[in-house]
Amino acid sequence: MSSFSRRSFLVLAAAGPLLAGCGFTPTYGTDGKASGLLGQVIVDEPNDNNTYLLGRELEDRLGRVSSGNYGLSIAVVTEERSTGKTISGVTSRYDVVGDATFALRDLSSGQVLTSGKARNYTGYSATGTSAATLAAQDDAYERLMVILTDQIMASLWAWSAKSAT
């Protein structure tokens, strides 16, 4: 049986007007607090594959622009850790730990408006062929950059909501 039932649907449908009545507005809606960031943030040029992947994700969410009011600097440091070994001592699993630091600055004054750090990890298996292991490793780095982007965007939304009031 499906975990989605008619009762769940009715509860969710009834919650819609309640959320609208409490002043809930989508972050990117016309009156959303983060709408001021859309199309206004220039992400600094990448200097390696990780900052390229992170910058690409950020631009997907904020919009890719050539001119705007804000500049966003990002730096990424990653580390691979062996987390699983076979009985013969061969590493079978890796964790990729990533730290991303960011700073949003006003381009007209150069002042840093907000900054922070995001930290998370992903993992991949190294038990397949060389090609499969390399593909899994590339995928783990890409997934990690998406997770770090989520965290950075949450910080930017919080700053935007606080500074808009």
Reported as a single tens digit per residue, the pLDDT across 139-165 is 999 999 999 999 999 999 999 888 865
What integer pLDDT is reported at residue 22 of this predicted model? 61
Q: Write out pLDDT tens, residues 103-125.
A: 999 999 999 999 999 999 999 99
Q: Give the rounded percent of residues in the chain with a pLDDT score beyond 70.
A: 78
Polymer length in residues for the chain: 165
What integer pLDDT is reported at residue 62 of this predicted model? 93
| DSSP codes joined into one string, 25-50 | --TTSTT-TTTTTTTTEEEPPPSSHH
| Nearest Cα to Cα of residue 148 among 116, 124, 108 | 116
The CATH code of domain 6-164 reads 3.30.160.150
Supply 102's token pair. 């960011």
Tell me the domain boundaries of the chain.
6-164
The CA distance from 150 to 102, in Å, is 13
Supply 72's token pair. 């966003």
Q: Write out pLDDT tens, residues 81-104.
A: 999 888 888 889 999 999 999 999
| Nearest Cα to Cα of residue 152 among 81, 73, 82, 89 | 73
Backbone angles phi, psi at 25, to 5 degrees: -130, 140
pLDDT tier, 128 (very low <50, low <70, confident <90, very high otherwise):
confident
Q: Mean pLDDT throughout 53-75?
A: 95
| Nearest Cα to Cα of residue 164 among 32, 71, 73, 72 | 32
Assess whether pLDDT exceeds 90 at residue 27: no
What integer pLDDT is reported at residue 1 of this predicted model? 46
Q: Mean pLDDT throughout 25-47?
A: 77
What integer pLDDT is reported at residue 163 of this predicted model? 81
The CA distance from 155 to 111, in Å, is 18
